[in-house]
Structure 1
Amino acid sequence: MILKTVLCLVAIATVEANIPLAQILPVPQKAASTSSLHNHGPAPSESFPFQEHLNDDFTLYWNFNTTHITFEMVVKTNGWVGFGISPKGAMKSSDVIIAWVKDGQAHFADRHAEGHFLPAIDSSQDWTLVMAQETGQFTMLKVARPLETCDDQDVPIKPGTTRVIYAYSQTDPSSDDAIGYHGNTRGTKSILLLDPPTNEQHEEDLPADVKILEFTNRNVSVPSEDTTYHCTMWKLPDLGGKNHMIRYEPIIQVGHETLIHHMVLYYCSGTVSDGSFPTSDFNCYVNPPTLTYSCYNILVAWAIGGKVFNFPKNVGYPVGEANDPGIFMLETHYDNPRMRSDFVDSSGMRMYVTSQLRQHDAGIIMVGVNVDKYHIIPPYEESFLSQGICHESCLAEGLGGQEIHVFANFLHAHLLGSKLRTRHFRNGTELPPLQEDNNYDFDYQETRFLNEERVIKKGDSLVVECECDSTKRTGITYGGLSSREEMCESFMLYYPRTRMNFCGSRIIYKAEDQYAGRDMLDVFPTFDWTDPKVHQDFRQTIADSEYAQICYGNMLVFKTHLKVFPMPKIENPYKKQDVCPLS
């Protein structure tokens, strides 16, 4: 997302303006959510705080506590209904229930699927049928289960991305063993069950003075290239003084849902004049205007699958004052693997701001692996670990001695990412992860609230880890901008705002004696990656290597920037409590 190390700080003189103002839209009494569901079928049997429209015929409602989860399904069918939890979104290895109502009698079973055939009935029935009924053309089912059943035939439900699968038929089975094939009435969807996105949480009316600002691309003719990073400059209109951004959401042009991989709204630092830029539209990383070097301070980061984000009631991102962001740069990553030439795009971001200031000013810090060719994932790896280190010296300098409170986080990788986490260390002891997602889905990336705010202070350090599955690759995958390249990043939303923007690392590969004097980036492609010993030796090379700290802030390159250090040793790793007794 933040795609270059800022080594050049630019002071810019004021000249005549040529960057357009962000648009101010009419203010509705209550903002419409981009995730509003179709109002199909009867209402559920009770009020549920969370819901998801799986398709035009299948609506899922749910609620949970610390030990159990309850689902209610409203499905347009008078036949059987199937629903389940799947490790990878496929039928194989999934934990499912199948139920139907026939002649007023409910039929139900907890099952597990071992392949693309009828799931077998579990020996332990851990899903409980609470209610089953037919209402007109619809079947309504309410079921409950423990989050962790300690049953090998079930799939645990944990924080992070959950892949649900569903299917239904228009006819009832003749028996438990004669359930007909569902045909095309089936699907899978990634959902945040235990940490739902903020657009699913209760919203109060917006302040009466709220202003809606739009930063959109201006009918961009997307090149017929695999990857394009397009930048558009915007100027903040006069807001009459300090305001707080309290909400943001994507504006995705219809039909471009898969074209827009991610968008980042940056702001420019220092004395930046909108008239200093020769153009307001350009390729972000191919000969961009030199003056943009001061414009890589992240305000909003969004990626495919993300929806509305609402700040906590006591926090807002400051805009509108002389020292606040005034010139913005919208970066849009167009992912165009078919290299189509007919896309003309006007997608962008929408901000909600108010002069009713909240208690705290928010900020955002990116942590992780620097985006460059030194980030290497070998081929044929089922779970290769990439690590980005935020050293305690960089954090201490960036925070300036104050504590920060992290309230939300956004994990980001590309196509190889499978498990992502942000680890937190204090005085040699590892604390619980700041955030983790053991079922990361490239097509479903959300900024997620933490279950409780996390304090980060001087002496702490962070490590962002991405487990990557490269089993289908035959060559090295490098860090880079394209979705076919990789990233490993974590974006922390926090308060109070500090001067810090980035805390990460770049590996300095240790060269073996036989490669002395050679750049290891030229050596690694010559390896025979089909040889398991080559993989073993590469892992040892990483363990023996050092890291350069990448450490900077708003118009600042910190003293610890490019400082070299060894891989930190974890003296007391965090151990999760095992809720299942040993068999």
Structure 2
Amino acid sequence: MRMMFAYHSEEPAGATGPLPSHGIDRRGARSVYLLERSGLEQPVSPDLLSWDLRNPAVTLPPREDTLYWCKIFKLPTLRRKHHMVRYEPLLQPGNRHYMHHVIVYECDDNGAELEKQVRDGGQVCYQANMPALFFSCNNVVVAWAIGSEGFSFPPEAGYPLDPDAGPKYYMMETHYNNPSQDADVTDSSGIRLYYSANLRRYDAGVLSVGLDPNWRHIIPPEQPQVVSEGHCISQCTRHTLPSQGISLFAVLLHTHLIGRKVRLRQIRDEEELSPIAADNNYDFSYQEYRRLQKPAKVLPGDHLIAECVYNSEGRSTITLGGLTTREEMCLVYVLYYPRIELSLCHSLPSLPTVLHSLGIQELRQGSSPVMIKSPPELADMTLENRLVSYDWEKNFQSFQETTHRGSFKPLCWMKKHTLLPGTEDFEAFYPNVSKPYKEPSSCHSSRWKKPRRRKKPGDDNMDGGGDREGEGEGQSQNILDVESEDRTKVYSSFGVHESSRLNAAPGSARAVRLAAALVLPTAILFWS
């Protein structure tokens, strides 16, 4: 909820009479969670140890609005396993508004090269010269985002820090956001972890669910509501969760600037259960973990969906998924126990689905920039130009329907940075939902109830309706008609390492740079 406040520096003179004016500097508003607090109200126990992970003096580039900085740290000397039970941000005074998020990852590699990186001040992430061993750091330990004050674990769980069986090295990724491109900004912020030798009942873990940040996540412009969905398919949970399932005790919902609603949906045996978490008034500036009032159980075979609703009315060109703040994300981080080997459970629209949504049948093999071959009316147009010039007002509903019902690539990443065996070449579809979730009329029967209010853009898309009968994961018949071999076409697929910067300041060229970092493997497009 959004809370408005005003106060005065002195107590009222009496119980009657007018109150003195608070003045313009003693009022404000901020978002708060009243019922799903992070647990930081409790003081730090004196028996806890602390580990500070701070960046060295990182200078923000004055002519760029986004910087990802990666720094390697080594686990403190421990004689036995400990549990991390709390963490807080360490924000350099005056620099809070530059901090978008901080994520700490486990590193799978314990070699000498990482030891050298510990002594180094860090470097820009995800660049061509980034050491390959940095990519061994992929399992999330801590996720802090703008507006958060940190998190305190429930008494039954803690994140394991094990010098014998666990990783010895960790990578801290810091996303700096400098939209005004201020010069002479240097920062040494970070994260403080609290840990204890008194082990708790369960080892906790972090699981990321949603859309993989990639250009295939397309948000059309000038629309009051655009729905995007990222899937954690049932095959992923069926083969990685214990028979008794896992218990989710906290959830962090994450989009960028144009996200308006986010929820984590749960489907079991074709029935959609009540949302694990939902926010119909998402605030980009308040991304705090919600500590669930009652842990939510996820069982093997459950299908999870991170669903995000965006409002792009203020943008005149498309927004793509990606890492920068102007680009978009749709992710949900969940804290749970007991810990499992699954680390990221994402999905990505398949290239056939993306092309179909844009009215493209075939691309020219080996073309650079990527050119369209058919249909004839689009022949020799670049894919880049098609994205920019597409008539979104006319074709928006068709686009939404295609991206919702089309195939997608599941990404079931394990802690060892390998895909779950059997899913490497798998394509999935939206699951069958024979029993959609319905909002209860009483607040006594649901772990989440939408407050009564006037309808806002996106409500119609957040009601969790059913889908085409017989449509499910791995089915043989679908909107792309994969059975028709005579209509199979070969094209050159491509992926973009980082999306283009489409949403620069008003008045800029907003050029689409999809030609950067192209990868050109051969793929098959099934077209109906």
TM-score (norm 2): 0.74
Secondary structure at the residue paired with 2:400? Answer: helix
Q: Residue type matched to 1:537 in 2?
A: S
CA distance in 2, matches of 1:321, 1:312: 23
**Which residue of 425, 430, 441 maps to 1:567?**
430
Cα displacement (A) at 1:338 = 1.2
CA distance in 1, matches of 2:404, 2:104: 36
Q: Conserved in 2, the CA contact under 8 Å of 1:313 and 1:358?
A: yes
Cα displacement (A) at 1:204 = 6.0
Query: Could you tell me which residue of structure 2 aligns to residue 516 of structure 1?
Result: 361
Query: Could you tell me which residue of structure 2 aligns to residue 409 of structure 1?
Result: 251
Query: Could you tell me which residue of structure 2 aligns to residue 243 of structure 1?
Result: 82
Query: Could you tell me which residue of structure 2 aligns to residue 557 of structure 1?
Result: 419
Cα displacement (A) at 1:271 = 4.0
Q: Residue type matched to 1:258 in 2?
A: H
Query: Could you tell me which residue of structure 1 aligns to residue 375 of structure 2?
Result: none
Q: Residue type matched to 2:195 in 1?
A: V
Cα displacement (A) at 1:276 = 5.7
Asked if 1:262 is matched to 2:262, the reply is no
CA distance in 2, matches of 1:423, 1:526: 32
Superposition map of 1:274-293 within 5 A? 274-275=114-115, 277=117, 279-287=120-128, 288-293=130-135
Query: Could you tell me which residue of structure 2 aligns to residue 374 of structure 1?
Result: 216
Secondary structure at the residue paired with 1:542? Answer: helix
CA deviation digits over 1:183-232, x for unaligned, max 9?
776432211123233223xx266252x21100000011111211000011
Cα displacement (A) at 1:286 = 1.1
Q: Residue type matched to 2:123 in 1?
A: F
Cα displacement (A) at 1:169 = 3.2
Q: Conserved in 1, the CA contact under 8 Å of 2:4 and 2:29?
A: no
Asked if 1:576 is matched to 2:419, the reply is no
CA deviation digits over 1:387-431, x for unaligned, max 9?
001100011222254511111111110001110000011111111
Superposition map of 1:112-511 within 5 A? 169=21, 186-200=27-41, 203=42, 206=45, 208=47, 210-224=48-62, 225-273=64-112, 274-275=114-115, 277=117, 279-287=120-128, 288-399=130-241, 401=243, 403-508=245-350, 509-510=352-353, 511=355
Q: Conserved in 1, the CA contact under 8 Å of 2:270 and 2:431?
A: no
Query: Could you tell me which residue of structure 2 aligns to residue 131 of structure 1?
Result: none
Q: Residue type matched to 2:330 in 1?
A: C
Secondary structure at the residue paired with 1:504? Answer: strand
CA distance in 1, matches of 2:334, 2:268: 17
Superposition map of 1:18-33 within 5 A? none
**Structure 1 residues 205, 380: closer, same or farther in 2, change over 3 A?**
closer
Cα displacement (A) at 1:473 = 0.3
CA distance in 1, matches of 2:284, 2:425: 31
Cα displacement (A) at 1:237 = 1.7
Gapped regions of structure 2 (runs ≥ 5): 364-369, 373-382, 443-450, 453-528
Percent sequence identity over aligned pairs: 35
**Structure 1 residues 441, 514: closer, same or farther in 2, change over 3 A?**
closer
CA distance in 1, matches of 2:359, 2:187: 51
**Structure 1 residues 433, 320: closer, same or farther in 2, change over 3 A?**
same
Query: Could you tell me which residue of structure 1 aligns to residue 394 of structure 2?
Result: 533
Cα displacement (A) at 1:543 = 3.2
CA distance in 2, matches of 1:309, 1:384: 31
CA distance in 2, matches of 1:53, 1:326: 45
Query: Could you tell me which residue of structure 2 aligns to residue 121 of structure 1?
Result: none
Q: Residue type matched to 1:382 in 2?
A: P
CA distance in 2, matches of 1:568, 1:446: 30
CA distance in 2, matches of 1:344, 1:190: 28
Q: Residue type matched to 1:199 in 2?
A: L
Cα displacement (A) at 1:313 = 0.7
Cα displacement (A) at 1:527 = 3.8
TM-score (norm 1): 0.67
Query: Could you tell me which residue of structure 1 aligns to residue 523 of structure 2?
Result: none
Query: Could you tell me which residue of structure 2 aligns to residue 67 of structure 1?
Result: none
**Structure 1 residues 523, 504: closer, same or farther in 2, change over 3 A?**
farther
**Which residue of 398, 402, 406 maps to 1:545?**
406
CA distance in 1, matches of 2:359, 2:151: 52
Q: Conserved in 1, the CA contact under 8 Å of 2:35 and 2:293?
A: no
**Structure 1 residues 394, 576: closer, same or farther in 2, change over 3 A?**
same
**Structure 1 residues 248, 184: closer, same or farther in 2, change over 3 A?**
closer
Cα displacement (A) at 1:267 = 1.2
Q: Radius of gyration: which is bigger? A: 1
**Structure 1 residues 353, 344: closer, same or farther in 2, change over 3 A?**
same
Secondary structure at the residue paired with 1:569? Answer: coil
Query: Could you tell me which residue of structure 1 aligns to residue 446 of structure 2?
Result: none
Q: Conserved in 2, the CA contact under 8 Å of 1:394 and 1:561?
A: no
Q: Residue type matched to 1:338 in 2?
A: S
Secondary structure at the residue paired with 2:347? Answer: strand
**RMSD (Å), alpha carbons:** 2.8
**Structure 1 residues 356, 404: closer, same or farther in 2, change over 3 A?**
same
Kindly indicate which of the two structures has a greater share of residues assigned to strand.
1
Secondary structure at the residue paired with 2:134? Answer: helix
Query: Could you tell me which residue of structure 2 aligns to residue 20 of structure 1?
Result: none
Q: Conserved in 2, the CA contact under 8 Å of 1:212 and 1:351?
A: yes
Cα displacement (A) at 1:78 = 5.2
Gapped regions of structure 1 (runs ≥ 5): 1-51, 59-74, 80-99, 104-133, 140-167, 171-181
Secondary structure at the residue paired with 2:237? Answer: helix
CA distance in 1, matches of 2:308, 2:46: 40
CA distance in 1, matches of 2:242, 2:201: 21
CA distance in 1, matches of 2:161, 2:25: 49
Q: Conserved in 2, the CA contact under 8 Å of 1:527 and 1:534?
A: no
**Structure 1 residues 522, 366: closer, same or farther in 2, change over 3 A?**
same
Secondary structure at the residue paired with 1:539? Answer: helix
Secondary structure at the residue paired with 1:575? Answer: coil
Q: Conserved in 2, the CA contact under 8 Å of 1:499 and 1:554?
A: yes
CA deviation digits over 1:236-276, x for unaligned, max 9?
12111100001101001111111010000111014444336
Q: Conserved in 2, the CA contact under 8 Å of 1:277 and 1:291?
A: no
Q: Residue type matched to 2:67 in 1?
A: T
Q: Which moved more, 1:520-529 or 1:279-288?
A: 520-529
Query: Could you tell me which residue of structure 2 aligns to residue 118 of structure 1?
Result: none
What is the number of residues matched between the two proteins?
418
